[in-house]
Structure 1
Amino acid sequence: MWNPYYQGGWPNAGPSSSAGNSPVVPQPSIFGALPYASTPTSPGPPPTFMSFRFTTFNPTILDSTVVGPKAQAYFLSNTDTPSPGFTVVHNSANKPIIVIQWARHPVIEICDILSKRHTSKWLTLSPDKSFRTMSARGRTFVWVPEGQYISLYSSGLGAPQIYGRILRGEETVTLELTTEAIQVGLLEVCVAATLLLQCGRNID
């Protein structure tokens, strides 16, 4: 199935991608400074990341378990069960928090965070397919490919700040988030984004 990230030169976009793909560097935006692969983040010590691993694919990331610090299971993603055509993600309290409806134009909803909308309107692909913008918690962020990573940066004037990054391994996908990303409530948002960016399906 067509994957706009893979077609656009994005790394880790699906099973057929590889870490050796050359990143596509986005052009500047009139809406504010977007990060470049060579652009340093704000001065200071490097950010501290917390890792969340998508494991036990059955057979894809859309049916997987998300394991966080101390090997704790944080989320469980199921597709077509019990409802065909839907991916539902439950948290550790077994509460459904993310629902993706697969259709010609997929729809996503994140409980108490994101109202129901098309995935293409939430993770908006740039005209040159070099980055995606994402709105969450009243802020705008940018997903940008950087070598083997897909990194999440702040969007706006000033030096970009990194909030997270996605890395695909042989049998797992790792989402790394900064402590600030966790504090501002981006965990569920980034879990949803990781599923969409790594599932290999058309999300536009």
Structure 2
Amino acid sequence: MSPSPFETWSATQRVSSNTALGAFGALPFQNPPDASVLVPFRMAEPNPSVANCDVVGPNNKLQFRVVTDPAMPGYTVLKAANDESLATIEWREPAKVEVRGLIPKQRASDFFKSSCDRRYRAMAIQSREYVLVSTGGTLLLYTAGSKSYEFLARTSQQAGSCTAELTQSAVSANLLQVCIVTILLLQNGRKFN
């Protein structure tokens, strides 16, 4: 059996989004827009990894911090600039995730369920359905719908650095926290199903 695209997310190969989306047959996926209309965020100054870093947005403005504190072994927390906890990953088996106000505490494998053919992951966030597609070194986030799939975000990694580019509607829906949690889960190297 070939590995899931999510198991090779850190691969350096580049695959076009049209190739990856072609795996879904004739589903009407919207092509990602030009990068100039996306809001960029990056995981800056990893120490020693993205499990301890700052997430900065346009103009290098701090959005929140990712903290894996040795005093709290087994937990990674996303914290706002005012130190308020926004999301938590509990690494003990089974790994659990929570994003305040968006995703109630649940198993990571339930948070982003793998499709039967392992070509995409499905997520439910506040009763809306989303699809996460891996294209080698890039993850694409779409709304799931019966008629079309609207592009919301793209995350990628290069040379140990991770970035997330979101549409304005995804930023307004607080999906940045979801994107960062997803990056952290996949960077950890565990299999979640």
**TM-score, with normalisation over the residues of structure 1?**
0.80
Tell me the secondary structure at the aligned position of residue 158 of structure 1.
coil
Could you list the per-position Cα deviations for residues 146-179 of structure 1 after superposition, in whole angstroms to 9, with x for gaps in the alignment? Answer: 3542100111211211000111111310001000
- Whether 2:185 is the aligned partner of 1:189: answer no
Aligned residue number for residue 7 of structure 1? 3
- TM superposition shift of 1:46: 5.3
8 Å Cα contact 2:13/2:137 also seen in 1 = yes
Alignment of 1:65-144 (within 5 A): 65-144=54-133
Unmatched segments (≥5 aa) in structure 1: 1-5
Tell me the secondary structure at the aligned position of residue 160 of structure 2: coil
Do 1:26 and 1:34's aligned partners in 2 also have CA atoms closer than 8 Å? no
Residue from 137, 150, 155 that aligns with 1:161: 150
User: How many aligned residue pairs are there?
Assistant: 188
C-alpha RMSD of matched pairs (Å): 2.7
Secondary structure, counterpart of 2:155 in structure 1 = strand
Identical amino acids, percent of aligned pairs? 28
CA drift of 1:34 comes to 5.1
Distance 1:10 1:157 in 2: 24
* 8 Å Cα contact 1:77/1:90 also seen in 2: yes
Aligned AA (1:109): E
Higher relative CO (CA 8 A, sep ≥ 6), structure 1 or 2?
Answer: 1
Alpha-carbon distance in 2 for matches of 1:90, 1:81: 16
| Structure 1 residues 11 and 163: CA distance shift in structure 2, 3 A | farther
Q: Which amino acid aligns with 1:8?
A: S
Deviation at 1:181, TM superposition (A): 0.7
Question: Aligned partners of 1:189 and 1:115: how far apart in 2?
Answer: 12
Measure how far apart 1:40 and its partner are: 4.0
TM-score norm. by structure 2 comes to 0.84
For 1:116 and 1:34, the matched residues in 2 are separated by 31
Which has more helix, going by share of residues? 2
Instruction: Report if aligned partners of 2:132, 2:141 keep a CA contact under 8 Å in 1.
Output: yes
Does residue 62 (structure 1) correspond to residue 51 (structure 2)? The answer is yes
Name 1:18's counterpart in structure 2: 12
* Aligned amino acid, residue 154 of structure 1: T
Which region of structure 1 is more displaced relative to structure 2, 142-151 or 68-77? 142-151
Asked whether 1:175 is paired with 2:164, we answer yes
Q: Which runs of 5+ in 2 are unaligned?
A: none
